[in-house]
Chains A and B, each alone.
Chain A
């Protein structure tokens, strides 16, 4: 899935209302240096999409352009069919966002901070405040001043802030930055719950790949401001026609390797005597054939496991590897 379907592509240029977010060849040039270069991708309703890239790839710049904090040098962003360039007030009304760290007025209480944003929103129902506070579990801290909040609490208040006006798209920039493992897990829980309860699309930027892998439907990988790959995370291993990579623990590595090599469909990608394992890449359909061949040769098979390449490995492959912070 290197390119988007052509269908999505043509409709993107017309401003498709069925897409929550459309990035159309968005670029940013600062002092002759291209920070973001012709970025194009879409987000569909209800989708959780990861924006992935090494530090300095242009993730935050991209998000700042989406939210109108900085101007685009070229291209346009459409949110729910409204242009950020020409119809900003409409477009932004569908967006809730946390950009970098959630910064609040430290001398105001959590409640007073949220009230600030309620006063800046049209048609907000009276119960909405309680609803989002409940969702992020900050009921008991609402009257405390924000300067007494921990980073985790501020993140949660940030989410509450972003959800107040019931947006269609939630944008989170490095949401787990600076959180401890418990905080990261908690954050992930919130994101899952929000996607479920609120039924909205979420864009998460991150350089923490494990993060994206666990909760996103798709990942958009960028490097040096350019789109490297749009990958579907959950669908990748479902394709029955695709090849699988297996690791098989056997009692006789040499003999087993010979059998694999004699098969036409299978390819031996490695063998490790020390662990008594061989690594085989073959089409899904050929797996029973291999198993039969091994047992026919009376080779003891102890384990067969799918040798899944993690997103992290792939990420390193795509981006050249040495630039992750």
Chain B
């Protein structure tokens, strides 16, 4: 266990000692401020408490999407950059299995995403307190928690997709490009039966709250199962390829 946590420390050091490390966090805060300001300007009738503001704005239709995109950009390089820098050679000739090394990278990416998510929750809530107050409305901690869960699932799937692409293509650019392209397309719904088994329409679990499923016949349980299947697929593909790859 100590060996594994040391691997995570290594990955975190590589990530955190970059000069651009703080930028994604600042973007999350800036977007939160901006959203709060716009909502405040429009009369402030939309939200009547910090909790209500946070609950709505955290969703994949608000800060959630930007949050996922930032996490994906951080993820794309974690494997690919080792290849482009050539540092993969020193990394793999240690007495550590490739599985452990890749697992530590995945764990680090999840930690990084969690840090971004925490920043988003805190900044949204503080902005909410500033402009909309603590009291009033009927949204509570439970509603915020549900939003957190939705955005976490959404970000987790995208981060895992990017992680897999980073391993498969060994190219930071391709991994970022392909996965951000997917984010752009995920709002597009194709009205066909097969499409409900695709990743995109299932990503935002919050749609089931309003009642209307993206496609007829879809339920929240159905979406959770589809997402779980994709998660397993992405992780399996990444680990299989990384373990077997010839490093040239």
Residues on A lying within 8 angstroms of B by beta carbon are 64, 67-71, 88-90, 92-93, 95, 97, 99-108, 112, 115-117, 119-122, 161, 165
Q: Let me know if B9 and A119 touch, CB within 8 A.
A: yes
Q: Let me know if B94 and A100 touch, CB within 8 A.
A: no
What is the distance, in angstroms, from B74's C-beta to the closest C-beta of chain A? 15
**Complex Cα gap A68–B9 (Å):** 24
Q: Let me know if A119 and B10 touch, CB within 8 A.
A: yes
For the A-B complex, the count of residue pairs with Cβ-Cβ distances under 8 Å equals: 75
Q: Let me know if A120 and B87 touch, CB within 8 A.
A: no
**Complex Cα gap A101–B85 (Å):** 11
Residues on B lying within 8 angstroms of A by beta carbon are 3, 6-7, 9-10, 13-14, 17-19, 85-87, 89-90, 92-97, 244, 246-248
Q: Let me know if A120 and B95 touch, CB within 8 A.
A: yes
**Complex Cα gap A124–B118 (Å):** 36
Between A and B, 17 residue pairs with Cβ closer than 8 Å are A64-B247, A67-B92, A67-B93, A69-B92, A69-B93, A70-B248, A89-B95, A92-B95, A93-B95, A102-B90, A104-B87, A108-B13, A115-B13, A120-B7, A121-B95, A122-B95, A165-B95
Residues of chain B contacted by A119 (CB below 8 angstroms): 6-7, 9-10
Residues of chain B contacted by A108 (CB below 8 angstroms): 13-14, 17
Q: Return the 7 tightest CB-CB contacts between A and B, nearest first.
A: A103-B86, A70-B246, A93-B95, A119-B6, A120-B94, A69-B247, A67-B93
Residue of B nearest to A67 (CB): B93
Given contacts A107-B18, A115-B13, A120-B7, 20 further A-B contacts (CB under 8 A): A67-B92, A67-B93, A69-B93, A71-B244, A99-B93, A100-B86, A101-B86, A103-B85, A104-B87, A105-B85, A105-B87, A107-B17, A108-B14, A112-B13, A117-B90, A119-B6, A120-B6, A120-B10, A121-B94, A161-B90
Q: Let me know if A89 and B97 touch, CB within 8 A.
A: yes
Residues of chain A contacted by B10 (CB below 8 angstroms): 116, 119-120
What is the distance, in angstroms, from B92's C-beta to the closest C-beta of chain A? 6
What is the distance, in angstroms, from A35's C-beta to the closest C-beta of chain B? 11
Q: Let me know if A92 and B89 touch, CB within 8 A.
A: no
Interface centre among B10, B14, B90, B248 (most CB of A within 10 A): B90
Pick the residue among B13, B18, B93 that contacts A116 (CB under 8 A).
B13
Residues of chain A contacted by B96 (CB below 8 angstroms): 89, 120
Residues of chain B contacted by A93 (CB below 8 angstroms): 95
